Structure 1
Amino acid sequence: MLAIRLPPEVESRLEALARATGRTKTFYAREAILQHLEDLEDLYLAEQRLADIRAGKTRAVPLDEVMKQHGMED
């Protein structure tokens, strides 16, 4: 279960969309979260990897090396 407070303008837009389409506000809130959750996870992972590189905990691999490892050379 999740309860969220939305700004009045967003709440109004969500209500209008739900009314116009016959779907629920919950349906659209769930869809929005599912669509963006993977992007947020990827962003968090990228930030962690960058911090690891800057801290010297891991090294970056040049693109040409990755391409070569996967048989994608020019």
Structure 2
Amino acid sequence: MESAMHGSPTSIRLDPDLKKRYDSLAARTGRSRAFYINKALQDSIEEFEYVYNLEQQVLDYRAGKLKTYDLDEVRELLGLEN
């Protein structure tokens, strides 16, 4: 991952209160607002990807695109038959 100082520039619109909070944090810590915004984005991307993947799997399930197993099939596959 590129650092905030050497990464690709982008533009976003921040809620004014959120911008003030980032500015305040940056001033208190000596880091840049971009550092904290980049950190927040890095910390959240895995969750976004995970949630999207789950949502896609639900859609695939509803569309009949996923193989499903009933309880008897699972027991048989795992060798748990009585």
Could you state the TM-score of these two structures normalised by the residue count of structure 1? 0.78
Would you say 1:2 and 2:10 are equivalent positions? yes
- How big is each residue's C-alpha offset from its partner over 1:24-64, in whole Å with a ceiling of 9 and x where there is no partner? 000000000000001000111100001001111003468xx
Q: Give the secondary-structure state (helix, strand or coil) at the position aligned to 2:23.
A: helix
In structure 1, runs of 5+ residues without a counterpart are: 70-74
Question: Higher helix proportion, which one?
Answer: 1
Match of 1:35 in 2: 43
Could you state the TM-score of these two structures normalised by the residue count of structure 2? 0.71
Point out the structure with max Rg over C-alpha: 2
For residues 12 and 62 of structure 2, what CA distance do their matches in structure 1 show? 36
Bigger relative contact order (CA 8 A; separation at least 6)? 2
In structure 2, runs of 5+ residues without a counterpart are: 1-8
Task: Calculate percent identity across the aligned residue pairs.
Answer: 35
* Deviation beyond 4 Å, 4+ runs, structure 1: none
**Aligned-residue RMSD, C-alpha:** 1.9
